[in-house]
């Protein structure tokens, strides 16, 4: 296929490199993509951490097709359609107890900025308007909008864009390879990193802080698993000081860690929780913020004809997205996918940790069906070694994701042992070749 590639400016892509040697996907089914050369590519990352039920699932495809012919759009402001309520009701059966209100967005980035606005507005509406400060974490990724990059902790995503939101501070990240390298599952050391929050409270005073936002498992900065006790400690400190805790579950939601949400895997319930990606199996864009009854009810005051929370998107709760999400939830339920990672994680972890000792491998990290393998960078050329590995895997028929010199795996939850074997063999060959 010869096509003019000039007009399209690609997101988060090395555009010039790509256009010299395009990697073009033309079809997908189950665990497998097809490319424009007719090759079969094993999907090691569920598309982009989103196709949790695998590709081309009949219930999702049919739900979208039916919905497009029935009701293509319904305005979401002062109007609604039945499926958006059906979806909200279905979702709160899966969320941790207490998170029983749902606000819809179209992406993870929008869900994050919605949750941040909700947190600040919540304090103001209940008469505590000085609580406006937001606390994020180094190496955090919360999408690409201004709120998300401000609380996020990835310099490359911030430095080009001028001033960030004011009144933001950051906890230290929890990555501690000196004590935790090659941990299987949650690392033992590092719960005390959460005490940073006490330090920030001592500096700014709790009365200025609205919320703390973290990813339960940080994905985009190289798969950082929370140390045992860390999230519990954050929860305790937030409770002690009246600060809201927000979990960004955009990648961990919908079965990735072995429970519907990582909050359940780690036994810590936040006050607000974001989701996207696996919500519709990646088929139609959709994000969501889950809130407690108490947060929601705080807004439900004043004259009844007035809008309580002046926020929302033209496509919030879009009929096609709702149909896709309902088809997705049916597929997850039919096949027990939201807990399937608990069955597969042992074999997956064994395979990943068998890469220890191969050239340049300095750490292996895993939880549920998330894996990260960190490599020593090439001197003076950070990211280049992992990028070469990514290209080699692609040539060998495996799609992985890289960030810095770490590569990540987050396969569809329908994965079988034979796929895990294929992923690990491919990675082993690529690592040996790169030595
Ligand atoms: C934790 C987290 N938050 C937010 C986002 C942004 O989601 P989106 O790309 O749908 O805006 C991502 C995307 O990977 C993510 O991993």
Q: Is 31 in the pocket of ligand 1 (CB under 6 A)?
A: no
Contact 210, 244 (CB under 8 A): yes
HSE-CB at 248 with a 13 A cutoff on CA atoms is 30
DSSP annotation of 305: T
Q: Is 108 in the pocket of ligand 1 (CB under 6 A)?
A: yes
Q: Encoding tokens for residue 354?
A: 């068998």
Tens digit of pLDDT at every position of the chain (435 positions): 579 999 999 999 999 999 999 999 999 999 999 999 999 999 999 999 999 999 999 999 999 999 999 999 999 999 999 999 999 999 999 999 999 999 999 999 999 999 999 999 999 999 999 999 999 999 999 999 999 999 999 999 999 999 999 999 999 999 999 999 999 999 999 999 999 999 999 999 999 999 999 999 999 999 999 999 999 999 999 999 999 999 999 999 999 999 999 999 999 999 999 999 999 999 999 999 999 999 999 999 999 999 999 999 999 999 999 999 999 999 999 999 999 999 999 999 999 999 999 999 999 999 999 999 999 999 999 999 999 999 999 999 999 999 999 999 999 999 999 999 999 999 999 999 988
Ligand 1 atom 8: residue of nearest CA: 108
Q: Is 250 in the pocket of ligand 1 (CB under 6 A)?
A: yes
pLDDT of residue 7: 98
CA 28 to the chain's CA centroid: 22
* DSSP per-residue string spanning 158-226: TGGG----SSEEEEPP---HHHHTT-SSS-SS-GGGGGHHHHHHHHH-GGGEEEEEE-SSB-TTT-BPP
Helix axes 384-396 and 417-434, enclosed angle (nearest 10): 130
Q: Which helix (H) or strand (E) holds 101?
A: strand 99-105
Looking at ligand 1, which atom is closest to the CA of residue 107? 10
pLDDT of residue 435: 80
Q: Is 331 in the pocket of ligand 1 (CB under 6 A)?
A: no
The rounded Å distance from CA 291 to ligand 1 centre is 18
Q: 3-state class of 303 per DSSP?
A: coil
Q: Encoding tokens for residue 395?
A: 């040539």
User: What residue has token string 């088809």?
Assistant: 327
Looking at ligand 1, which atom is closest to the CA of residue 108? 7
Contact 104, 286 (CB under 8 A): yes
The rounded Å distance from CA 251 to ligand 1 centre is 7
User: What residue has token string 């709790």?
Assistant: 206
The rounded Å distance from CA 111 to ligand 1 centre is 9
Looking at ligand 1, which atom is closest to the CA of residue 252? 1
Residues 6+ apart with CB under 8 A from 377: 383, 384, 385, 404, 405
Q: Is 145 in the pocket of ligand 1 (CB under 6 A)?
A: no
Q: Is 215 in the pocket of ligand 1 (CB under 6 A)?
A: yes
Q: Which helix (H) or strand (E) holds 28?
A: strand 25-29
Q: Is 256 in the pocket of ligand 1 (CB under 6 A)?
A: no
Q: 3-state class of 23 per DSSP?
A: coil
CA 399 to the chain's CA centroid: 18
Q: Is 206 in the pocket of ligand 1 (CB under 6 A)?
A: no
Contact 412, 31 (CB under 8 A): yes
Q: Is 142 in the pocket of ligand 1 (CB under 6 A)?
A: yes
CB atoms within 10 A of CB 270: 31
Ligand 1 atom 13: residue of nearest CA: 143
Best residue among 13, 52, 109 to mutate for probing ligand 1's pocket (most ligand atoms within 8 Å of CB) is 109
Best residue among 46, 137, 140, 251 to mutate for probing ligand 1's pocket (most ligand atoms within 8 Å of CB) is 251
The rounded Å distance from CA 294 to ligand 1 centre is 26
Q: Is 419 in the pocket of ligand 1 (CB under 6 A)?
A: no
pLDDT of residue 434: 84
């Amino acid at each position: 296929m010869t096509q003019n590639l000039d007009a399209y400016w690609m997101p988060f892509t090395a555009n010039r490199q790509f256009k010299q040697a395009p990697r073009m996907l033309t079809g997908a089914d189950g665990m497998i993509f097809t490319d424009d050369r007719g090759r079969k590519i094993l999907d090691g990352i569920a598309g982009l951490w989103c196709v949790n039920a695998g590709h081309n699932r009949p219930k999702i495809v049919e739900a979208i097709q039916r919905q497009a012919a029935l009701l293509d759009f319904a305005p979401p402001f002062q109007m609604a359609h039945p499926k958006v309520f059906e979806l909200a009701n279905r979702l709160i059966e899966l969320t941790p107890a207490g998170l029983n209100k749902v606000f819809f967005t179209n992406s993870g980035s929008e869900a994050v900025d919605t949750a941040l606005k909700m947190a600040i507005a919540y304090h103001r509406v209940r008469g505590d308007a000085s609580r406006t400060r937001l606390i994020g974490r180094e190496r955090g990724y919360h999408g690409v909008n201004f709120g998300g990059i401000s609380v996020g902790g990835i310099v490359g995503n911030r430095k080009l864009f001028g001033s960030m939101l004011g009144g933001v501070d950051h906890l230290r990240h929890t990555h501690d390879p000196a004590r935790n390298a090659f941990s299987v599952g949650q690392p033992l050391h590092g719960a005390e990193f959460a005490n940073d929050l006490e330090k920030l409270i001592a500096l700014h005073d709790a009365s200025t802080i609205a919320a703390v936002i973290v990813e339960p498992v940080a994905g985009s900065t190289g798969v950082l698993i929370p140390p045992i006790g860390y999230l519990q400690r954050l929860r305790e400190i937030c409770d002690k000081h009246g600060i809201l805790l927000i979990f960004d579950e955009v990648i961990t939601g919908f079965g990735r860690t072995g429970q519907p949400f990582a909050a359940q895997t780690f036994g810590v319930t936040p006050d607000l929780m974001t989701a996207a990606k696996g919500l519709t199996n990646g088929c139609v864009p959709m994000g969501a913020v889950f809130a407690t009854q108490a947060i929601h009810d705080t807004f439900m005051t004043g004259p009844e004809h007035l809008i309580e929370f002046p926020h929302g998107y033209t496509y919030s709760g879009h009929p096609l997205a709702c149909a896709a999400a309902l088809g997705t939830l049916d597929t997850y339920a039919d096949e027990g996918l939201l807990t399937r990672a608990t069955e597969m994680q042992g074999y997956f972890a064994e395979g990943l940790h068998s890469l220890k000792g191969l050239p340049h491998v300095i750490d292996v990290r895993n939880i549920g069906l998330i894996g990260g393998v960190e490599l020593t960078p090439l001197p003076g050329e950070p990211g280049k070694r992992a990028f070469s590995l990514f290209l080699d895997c692609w040539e060998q028929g495996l799609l992985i994701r890289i960030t810095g010199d770490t590569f990540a795996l987050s396969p569809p939850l329908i994965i079988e042992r034979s796929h895990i074997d294929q992923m690990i063999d491919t990675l082993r060959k690529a690592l040996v070749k790169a030595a």
